[in-house]
Amino acid sequence: MPEARMPADDGFFMPAEWEPHERCWMQWPSRAEVWAERLPQAHAAYAQVARAIAEFEPVSMVCRPEDEAQVKLACGRGVTPVPIPIDDSWARDSGPIFVIDGKGHVAGTHWAFNAWGNSYHGYENDAAVGGHILDHLGMRKYKINMVFEGGSISVDGYGTLLTTEECLLNDNRNPELTRQQIEENLALMLGVRRIIWLDRGLEDDETSGHVDMIASFAGEGRVLLHMPDDKSDLNYRLMQDNRERLEAARDARGQKLEIIEMPQPERQMRRPDGRRLCTSYVNAYIANGAVIMPTYDDPNDGRAAGIMAEAFPGRKIVSVPALEIAAGGGSIHCITQQQPKGVAVK
């Protein structure tokens, strides 16, 4: 349950991702259990994302102390290694979530982390890394014991939050909390006033349905929604249900939402164990002046980039190969976390 003062008590809220950034935070791939013999390819893929973002804003790469020299060589001068013990590389989920007060100040929130419902063992370092980053920044830390990952939400910066019931109401996260208690915690920690609940995420998503693989705000009142072309695809039925929920919803200002469909990659690949490999163009990082967007060596790559360019006019669309990242269980948004511009409040 909440401890002491919460961000909303002090006028803090989570801004939209397209607001100006101070920097981007990432974490260097580490867990052999996830990457196995593909770890060098994962390093190369993460370094390519980091270098792409560094063209538009500074990047800080958290890494195990023994990996610092490797990060410097792979990522170049625009990326600063930050040696902190970690278990793996999903900064969106284990890193801090930053909040602002609208007066130029930034603080951080630190949540409990259990590796996506205990999907992996040995996550103590990742559970602590968000707090270590905030200490490194000398930034105020609001802590709560609710299990939560940044990839499970999208906010519009005006009080509206998108999430899925599959993830936030899952017994593998916070079985002791009711839906109302979860909503109260989100309101107090992130300063939101309305929560739009979608149903489920992608088939075989090991995060239990993170929303950042299927839907994200793309400006006030606009939502990108993952949508397969193939109506026989299970994801098509799941996303049609989510579309109906979005159509019925209103944002915190009482307005209807414009829904922009983003195609699902045409090629559907399987993992060695037969599970589907989750790939999504929605899972992009909005940087200062750019959108860093995943591609999958797929016929729909160009079409998706065109839709993204229309959704974010005035921003450069930078496509970065993400199949190696997808093999680890996510995409570009999953491995990044924005720090909003502003002065760290103590």
- Mean of the per-residue pLDDT values for the chain? 97
Quick one: average pLDDT of 217-221? 96
Quick one: average pLDDT of 127-154? 98
2 pLDDT exceeds 60? no
Give domain limits for the chain: 7-344
Torsion of CA 140, 146, 152, 153, to 10 degrees: -50
Domain covering 7-344 in this structure, CATH number: 3.75.10.10
Indicate if 334 belongs to the active site.
yes
Confidence (pTM) = 0.97
Give yes or no for a contact between 242 and 225, defined as CB atoms under 8 angstroms apart.
yes
Cross-strand bridge partners of residue 319: 293
1 pLDDT exceeds 50? no
pLDDT in tens, 235-261: 999 999 999 999 999 999 999 999 999
pLDDT at position 32: 87
Give yes or no for a contact between 129 and 95, defined as CB atoms under 8 angstroms apart.
yes
12 pLDDT exceeds 50? yes
3 pLDDT exceeds 70? no
pLDDT in tens, 74-132: 999 999 999 999 999 999 999 999 999 999 999 999 999 999 999 999 999 999 999 99
Phi/psi of residue 73, nearest 5 degrees: -70, -45
217 pLDDT exceeds 90? yes
List 24, 167, 278, 334, catalytic entry: 334
* E strand or H helix at 185: helix 179-190
Interatomic CA distance for residues 127 and 114, integer angstroms: 7
